[in-house]
Amino acid sequence: MKTKGVLNNDLARAIARMGHGDMLVITDRGFPFPRHEYTECIDVSVGRDLPRFVDTVRVVLEELEIEKVLIAEETKKASPKIYDELKEILSKIKNKGDDIVEEIIPHVKFKDLVLNGGLERKEVKVFVKTGEFTPYANIILISGVDF
């Protein structure tokens, strides 16, 4: 029985299948699901704020090597506590000795990438919805390699 890291079977399998440049999205409860078969959708929510967005990010990053993140501008403005928690988590992670690259984009661009990126053959592989009820608690993790 697995006792550490990502315990959700679907999410653990999806992370194991990620390759360099693939995108894994983690969102709040209100974000719509992509409506096509190119992005695997996993709902890990069990109740209001369970699990929390930042807790989900933290556990996923125990197993996923990343090189870059995309965050909506609105996250910084509307949910500064969430943004600060993300910054703290990301500050402790390196990719091949380098800091993780952070790209801030408008929410409309973020949402379009998540919902339609798979259709456009962009590497949006996995979508994870949490039980978070904080607006703009969303991030795209871009997979890296450790060699």
Strand partners, 40: 126
Active site residue 20: yes
135/3 Cα distance (integer angstroms): 31
Strand partners, 68: 101, 142
> 96: closest CA among 146, 21, 29?
146
39/23 Cα distance (integer angstroms): 10
DSSP H helices in 26-78: 53-60, 73-78
Any idea which residue has 């390699």 for tokens?
145
Give the 3-state secondary structure of residue 86.
Answer: helix
> 85: closest CA among 52, 43, 49?
52
Q: Which position among 17, 20, 81, 109 bears the catalytic label? A: 20
CB neighbours (10 Å) of residue 41?
A: 16
Residue 121: the pLDDT is 81
Residue 126: the pLDDT is 98
137/45 Cα distance (integer angstroms): 14
Q: pTM of this prediction?
A: 0.97
pLDDT, one tens digit per residue, over 71-92 is 999 999 999 999 999 999 999 9
Residue 52: the pLDDT is 98
* Residue 56 binned pLDDT confidence (cut-offs 50, 70, 90): very high
Q: What are the chain's domains?
A: 19-143 (3.40.1650.10)
